[in-house]
Amino acid sequence: MRLWKGIHHMTALGADTLLDKLPFATAVITPGRRVLFLNRAMEALTGFSRDEALGLRCDCVLRCSACLDDCPLAEAGEQDKPLSLEGDVINRDRRRLPVRLSLSAVPDETGAPAFYLETLEERPGGIRPALEGGPMSFSRIIGRSPAMERLFETLPAVAQTDSSLLITGETGTGKDVLAEAIHQASPRSKGPFIKVNCGALPESLLESELFGHRKGAFTGAVKDKPGRIQLAEGGTLFLTEVGDLPLPLQVKLLSFLDDRVVYPLGGTSGVVTNVRLIAATHHDLEAAVAAGRFRQDLMFRLNVIRLHLPPLRDRGVDVRLLLDHFLNVCSAQLGKNVRGLDERALATLMGHPYPGNVRELRNIVEYACTMCRGEQVTASDLPAYLKPQSSAPDAARAAEQEQHAAPQADYAELERGRMLKALLEAGGRKGKAAQALGLSRTTFWRKLKSHGLAGEEKP
């Protein structure tokens, strides 16, 4: 009865009006898990009016996956600060909305929870299922290919854990974007996302950068400096190019992963941290372990969960999808009115092997948008290394014609044609041909070999 009086008092004070003014969908829940009040935003989100919802079980009204997995009310009652969880709701319109749920207990005069305030905040970064044949997406990552759909399905669960995560994939596949997207979708999203490129700094600097230092640890260390690990407290530390981490630092990182204590350079005492680690590399870590360049025990600790981003050449339909997506984005960013590509430009782009993956595709589209003067990108707007040459020798032209005539032809055949063409144009010089295709000499050699075009010589 005290509760009713309290609520009545709240109403007299205009608390319901106050709750209606909140930008977040908010519900007042009784300790018996019944709905007492919904503000306007919550009515809009769930589709229930406050009169309909009054007295109903909160899980039946809010329909949040986080509530149904394991009711968080008991936990919220024991904590001083609000409890935050990720999940999704299915509203009365049958729409599934990714949300962040925050729950806090409002105590009575004895300290026991009088009622709970529950807010639901829509998360734009949540996974969106494919509708009407559209692509699935996770934050800024989009895809429709089976390989990406499989990846998207695992991401919400991966984001919810605190386990160390290793992201592998070729350069330009979006490892950094994925790491940040996972952080944003995780319960740590309110905390910092700190990125460290392990290949960009010399060993001595990297150690100080990662673990910090105490005053006087070395010449120039005039004051204590916290490392990046400490700066990531409550959030996520992202180690990109972890395969380039020097061996002595691998030992130190291993020790940190074991006990989560950071020992700054020149310090004697450690600092306990609460950080989730995400690492990424384009190297084959297993091969690096076999070659003695990477510690096996560290790999096992990083490899608790592994996500592999497929190269663009294995993503099939995604090339066209990303092409259109970047065209829209770049066109808008550059203030242009580019609406598509002509047939020849499209065939060239669809036949390109994209050794630089999504990053290369984006750069090509950005270049083409910049160069394009009309509403349609033509072959002449493409970067020089992609342009089909009108003066190409017969064999090369034949290869090109074959490519245009049969856009559905086997990818390997198209690649073989392009390599032949590049070789002919370069007068047989492999270095020049590799450069023209945007490939390294070794990759070019490997591809020549796989197509049966290599002689006995070595690269």
State the minimum distance, in angstroms, from the CB of residue 56 to another protein: 6
Q: Which of 155, 125, 130, 128 is nearest to 144 (CA)?
A: 130
Distance CA 187, CA 71 (A): 17
- Shortest distance, position 148 Cβ to another protein, whole Å: 19
54 or 288: CB nearest another protein: 54
Nearer residue to another protein within complex by CB, 137 or 230: 137
Q: How far apart are CA 212 and CA 454, in angstroms?
A: 50
Residue 93 burial (C-beta neighbours within 10 Å; 0-12, 13-18, 19+): exposed
Q: Which is nearer to another protein, 59 or 162 (CB)?
A: 59
Q: Which is nearer to another protein, 87 or 351 (CB)?
A: 87
User: Considering the complex, what minimum distance in angstroms separates the CB of residue 59 from another protein?
Assistant: 5
Query: Smallest distance from the beta carbon of 90 to another protein, in angstroms?
Result: 4
- How many other C-beta atoms are found inside a 10 Å radius of the C-beta of residue 259? 11
> Which residues contact another protein by CB under 8 A?
4-5, 7-8, 11, 30, 32, 34, 36, 52, 54-57, 59-60, 63, 65, 68-69, 89-96, 129, 131
Lookup: tokens for 406:
């049969």
Cβ-based nearer residue to another protein, 150 or 449: 150
Burial (0-12, 13-18, 19+ Cβ within 10 Å), 76: buried
Question: Would you say 61 or 386 has its CB closer to another protein?
Answer: 61
95 or 441: CB nearest another protein: 95
Q: Which string of DSSP letters, residue by residue, matches 121-160?
A: EE-TTS-B---TTPPEEETTEEE-SHHHHHHHHHHHHHHH
In three-state secondary structure terms, 226 is strand
Cα angle 218-222-226, degrees, rounded to a multiple of 5: 85
CB 166 within 8 A of CB 302: yes
Nearest distance, CB of residue 137 and another protein, angstroms: 16
Q: What angle do CA 144, 150, 153 make, to 5 degrees?
A: 100
